[in-house]
Amino acid sequence: MQDIESLSDERRVELLAKHYKAILELLGEDPSREGLLKTPCRAARAMLALTAGYRQSPEEILRSALFKEEYGSRGQIVVARDIEFYSFCEHHILPFFGKVHIGYIPTGYVTGLSKLARLVDAFARRLQLQERLTLEICEALQKTLAPEGAIVMMESRHLCMQMRGVEKQGTVTTTCSYTGVFEDIARREEFFSMLARR
């Protein structure tokens, strides 16, 4: 088999579609009935798009729009909250989704909100664990912006829990990662209180 990384998107869709067709058969469906004729191909395209993070460089996304902060932040927290994300849990390949809140204290460079959203997508569009996703976003911010500290809080709902009835409907899982000055609980609390002010 050809090296996976060198496959074109079209070829990937074609190969994935064959597997989706086999899955439909194994589930007891008839992939030749009209409603399902194009399903393997559609599912393949959707899955490829929703895992596009594997083919992106999160740090490059951030570096593509760094702005010099002329006045310095004077220790103030820059907050971007309610960034929507959709990911797949790596244990069941079922969605988990919710909101990410990001805070950092710039030492010289800031980035745009749209880049933060793209950074989140680049990590979320892979098979993930919520804990790892939170940590990876935080580490990329620290590495690329070199802030005094970065903090990432994620609130999400896991369909693998909810659809299978393991958890009650609407349970929200919260994770938090931080670096630098956010090791100090007082700085973390400052961030949380900024989030609470809606």
- Active-site residues, by number, are 89-92, 130, 158, 160
Mark residues 150-179: x for contact with Zn ion by CB under 5 A, - for none: ----------x-------------------
The residues near 36 (Cβ < 8 Å, ≥ 6 apart) are 24, 29, 30
Mark residues 60-99: x for contact with Zn ion by CB under 5 A, - for none: -----------------------------x-xx-------
Beta strands 149-158 and 173-178: pairing type? antiparallel
Planar angle of CA 17, 22, 25, nearest 5 degrees: 130
Query: Please, what sign has the CA dihedral across residues 85, 128, 194, 182?
Result: negative
Q: Which is nearer to Zn ion, 113 or 163 (CB)?
A: 163
- Cβ of residue 131: shortest distance to Zn ion, in angstroms? 12
- Cβ of residue 89: shortest distance to Zn ion, in angstroms? 3
Would you state the structure tokens that stand for residue 100, as one six-digit string? 């990410």
The residues near 34 (Cβ < 8 Å, ≥ 6 apart) are none
Mark residues 24-63: x for contact with Zn ion by CB under 5 A, - for none: ----------------------------------------
Q: 42-53: b or e for each residue (b if 16 or more CB lie within 10 Å)?
A: ebbbebbebbeb
Q: Are 149 and 183 in contact (CB under 8 A)?
A: yes
CB 174: neighbour CB atoms within 10 A? 11
- Cβ of residue 83: shortest distance to Zn ion, in angstroms? 22
Q: Which is nearer to Zn ion, 55 or 91 (CB)?
A: 91
- Applying CB under 5 A, what is the total number of residues that bind Zn ion? 4
Q: Which is nearer to Zn ion, 92 or 157 (CB)?
A: 92
Please report whether residue 143 would count as binding Zn ion according to CB under 5 A. no
- Cβ of residue 142: shortest distance to Zn ion, in angstroms? 28
- Cβ of residue 166: shortest distance to Zn ion, in angstroms? 9
Q: Are 89 and 157 in contact (CB under 8 A)?
A: no
Residues of this chain that bind Zn ion (CB under 5 A) = 89, 91-92, 160
